[in-house]
Copies of this chain bind each other. A is one copy, B any other.
Amino acid sequence: MNEDSLVRALTRDLPQGVGTLLGPGDDSAVVAAPDGRLTVTTDILLDGVHFRDAWSTGFDVGWRLAAQNLADAAAMGAVPRFLVVALAGPPERLAGPWASDFACGLSDYCRHWGTGVVGGDLAAGPVLVASGTALGDLEGRPAVTRGGAQVGDSVALSATGAAAPGVSGDARPVPGGPAHWALGGSAGGLAWLESQASGQGDAVGGQTAGAAGDRSGDGVTDGLADGLAQAAVAAYLRPDPLLGLGKDAALAGATAMMDVSDGLGKDASRLAVASGVRLSIDPGCPALDGPRRHWAPLARALGCDPCDWVLGGGEDHAFLATFPAGASLPDGWGVIGQVLAPGPDGPGVTFRGARSQESGWDHFA
Q: Which of B33, B126, B138 contacts A37 (CB 8 A)?
A: B33
Contacts of A136 in B (CB 8 A): 28
CB distance from A130 to the nearest CB of B (A): 9
A:115-173 near B, CB below 8 Å = 118-127, 129, 131, 133-136, 138, 143, 145-147
A36 within 8 A of B: yes
A236 within 8 A of B: no
Contacts of A354 in B (CB 8 A): none
Copies in the complex: 2
**In contact, B2 and A126 (Cβ under 8 angstroms):** no
A:212-265 near B, CB below 8 Å = 257-259
Residue of B nearest to A142 (CB): B30
A124 and B37 in contact (CB under 8 A), knowing A43-B86, A76-B26, A143-B22? no
**In contact, A26 and B131 (Cβ under 8 angstroms):** no
**In contact, A123 and B27 (Cβ under 8 angstroms):** no
**In contact, B6 and A44 (Cβ under 8 angstroms):** no
**In contact, B88 and A364 (Cβ under 8 angstroms):** no
A:1-55 near B, CB below 8 Å = 1-4, 6, 21-22, 25-34, 36-44, 46, 48-50
| In the A-B complex, the 7 residue pairs with the closest CB atoms | A33-B33, A133-B133, A131-B131, A28-B39, A44-B86, A28-B41, A27-B75
